[in-house]
Amino acid sequence: MTQNKPELIVFPNPYPARDYEITHINPEFTSVCPVTGLPDFGEITIRFVPDKLCIELKALKYYFIGFRNRGIFYEAVINEILEDLVTAMEPRRMEITGKFSTRGGLHSNVVAKYSKSDDKMPHSDRIVVKSFEKQVQ
């Protein structure tokens, strides 16, 4: 990690001329409630159509681990993930869904979306983006 910022590693999309959907699911997401200090658990689903870049999964896993001890609301988690991943990959479309575990009789689902054709490209300073340039098939 550089300057305590998580690193996201991207690599060239092997089929940039084709629209196809990628789904990554983290069923063991954890963070901390900023009000109570208790752990929050959830499942994060990343669904996107790549453009020129894809995300490397080991770096994505470590990125998620960075939330483990952070006090952060669900809404901020999902929107930060969307902004960070759109900044790193500049996909055609992306949707981030958080399904958070029941606490106090309530469970929460949060969804944030981005579309290159409809939305302004966000820029996140929270991450460092590195490129894996070598073509691997």
Catalytic residues: 33, 40
- What is the C-alpha to C-alpha distance for residues 106 and 19, in angstroms, rounded to an integer? 37
Kindly give, in sequence order, each residue whose CB lies less than 8 Å from that of residue 86, ignoring residues fewer than 6 positions away: 94, 114, 121, 122, 124
Scored b (16 or more CB within 10 A) or e, 12-24 reads ebeeeeeeeeeee
Q: Is 87 helix (H, G, I), strand (E, B) or coil?
A: helix
Kindly give, in sequence order, each residue whose CB lies less than 8 Å from that of residue 78, ignoring residues fewer than 6 positions away: 44, 96, 97, 98, 110, 111, 112
Cα torsion angle, 24, 26, 32, 33, sign: positive
